[in-house]
Amino acid sequence: MIQGCENPQIDPLLRRAPRVSYRFADVAGTLNEPGTLALFGFAADVPASADPRYLQVALESFDTPAPLELWQVDGPVSCGRDGALHWASGGGWLFAAIELDEREHGGPGVTAQRAYEQLHRFVAARDIRHVLRVWNYLGAINHGDGDAERYKHFCDGRAAGMGDFFAEGFPAATAIGHHGNPHRLQIYLLACDQSGTRVENPRQVSAWRYPRQYGRTPPSFARAMVLPARDALAISGTAAVVGHASAHHDDLDAQLDETLTNLEVLLASADMAVGFDTHSPLKAYVRRPSDARHVRNFLQRRLPGVPVLLLHGDICRSELLVEIDGWRYA
């Protein structure tokens, strides 16, 4: 457990968390703002940018127009490209992203392995090497039966590519299926030159200890990560899982209730006060487009004022209808 409060006394030597927000704004203008570490678009009609800090996310937003997601840090930012990888660095923080085409590598497992090998090599060569948060988006995540499911192949490849990438412990992470080019694997991460504190949920079996029924290789992530200054919690993809089992099959409201319970337990495990506020941006990944309005209304009722970005994405287990991740600031 870590100690925290609503108004923490932050050690000035510890890295202040990046400020994550949703913004209806111009891509070029936002990239020109001081401290912009990364910028994300969630709609196909958003103007493209060659800036390495910009990423067109493979997931479509249910909101029209869709906001941009902005990460800002204290200090000047440099950026560049390294083959298929693009990156930005500033204020002790690092954003890195990679996109690979499975057709060039031989399927989801080998492609995930190649992506993590490249990310590992890049981060290991830098001073900013504590990976705190990772996002993974792949096409047709639930296709295939048993061990042949694409998500299970992804988990195998991720583990093979990690090596000692996460020797100090797994980062917080999300893995979601997108509905774009089915061969596209997209991964991005946030790293820091200082380590964070991993948080687990006592209601859930830790992901890396899942039993064999979930695949040859268990998922490799922590349920959440407290950032170095203890001023923010990065929350992994969270769904209606109790123990290691999915709960409330085909019951959307019950899954949403269970998911919010798991989120509150994570806050308690991180010694944060209950609840989310207007400075706590969340993402809700919704499997069925027909459920989007209901999910939006549910979350507006239960989390009034909380910024929630609603995205069309498949959860890593086919029986789960919704997943939520995001940020909670102290």
Active site amino acids:
323
Place of tokens 């127009």: 65
Number of H helices, E strands in the chain: 5, 19
Instruction: Single out the residue of 93, 52, 95, 40 nearest to residue 309, CA to CA.
Output: 40
Record the tokens describing residue 241, joined without a space.
């899982």
Q: What angle do CA 124, 120, 177 make, to 5 degrees?
A: 150
Determine contact, residues 78/52, Cβ cutoff 8 Å. Answer: no
Rama region for 44: left / alpha / beta (φ>0; ψ in -120 to 50; rest): alpha
Separation CA 197–CA 132 (nearest Å): 9
Q: Report how far residue 181's alpha carbon sits from residue 245's, in angstroms, rounded to the nearest whole number.
A: 30
Q: Which amino acid is at 95?
A: F
Characterize the bridge pairing of strands 130-139 and 93-101. unpaired
HSE on the CB side for 175, CA within 13 Å? Answer: 25
Listed in sequence order, the residues at least 6 apart from 74 whose beta carbon sits closer than 8 Å to its beta carbon are 16, 35, 91
Nearest to 60 by CA among 32, 77, 76, 41: 41
Cα–Cα distance for residue pair 4/273, rounded to 1 Å: 9
DSSP 91-152: TTEEEEEEEEEGGGTTSHHHHHHHHHHHHHHHHHTSS--EEEEEEEEEESTT-SSGGGSHHH
